[in-house]
Amino acid sequence: MSESVNVAIVYYSSTGTVHALARAAVEGAEKAGAQVRLRKVAETAPEAAVNSREEWAQHLRDTADVPLASLDDLDWADVVLFGAPTRFGNPASQLRAFIETTGPLWGQGKLEGKVYSAFTSSGTKHGGQEATLLALANTFYHWGGIIVPPGYTDPVMNQLGNPYGVSHVAGEGAPGEVPLQAARHQARRAVEVAAALKAGRSS
């Protein structure tokens, strides 16, 4: 049923945490039968800032082969999952910069009716994760999107503890199996809802 669902996973990651969650989301969406595009947004931080942290510069090199997100990816998609670390309770500016280029699609009504969901990370526990996810939801409201959070719809979400969207505390290390499995579930759930919507619309 979900074979005809297109999923764009658009993310920003500075040191790899959100990238790992995005890769897990790819796995979940593909396992649900969707066609998936993994896309990163452009790095907009000054080179001096990037090079001030070796792990930041290294991650940029490690993901040089990941295509940059484009408006075509959003137009193509039935489902869009956005991922970004939290910066003072908001999505990282790199993702916001991309979102702010979407006016032409929005003006043509090409962003409405799609399924949207989001995931994030923060350096510390309670470091603005929910605020970041809710801030992204504000954009989805403007687009006329259908927001599909993971909720507590799978036992792994009770372990993770964030029904707004998958999140991870980067300060505790790389994402382990619980957040990765939660990311797979979140993507799978978004695909299932989108497939049901497409089936209903076609009938």
Tens of pLDDT, residue by residue over 75-87, are 999 999 999 999 9
Q: Nearest to residue 25, comparing CAs of 10, 47, 42? A: 10
The two structure tokens encoding residue 81: 């999952």
Interior/surface letters 68-90, b for 16+ CB within 10 angstroms, e for the rest: ebbeebbbebbbbbbbbbbbeeb
- The CATH number given to whatever domain includes residue 142 is 3.40.50.360
143 inside domain: yes
105 inside domain: yes
H/E element, 162: none
116 inside domain: yes
45 inside domain: yes
List pLDDT tens digits, range 57-72: 999 999 999 999 999 9
Where do the H-state alpha helices sit in 32-101? 47-51, 54-62, 71-76, 93-99
Percent of the chain surpassing pLDDT 70:
99
Q: How many domains are there within the chain? A: 1
1 has a pLDDT exceeding 80: no
**Is 0.85 topped by the overall pTM?**
yes
Pairing of strands 79-87, 146-147: unpaired
DSSP single-letter state for residue 68: B
Amino acid in position 58: Q
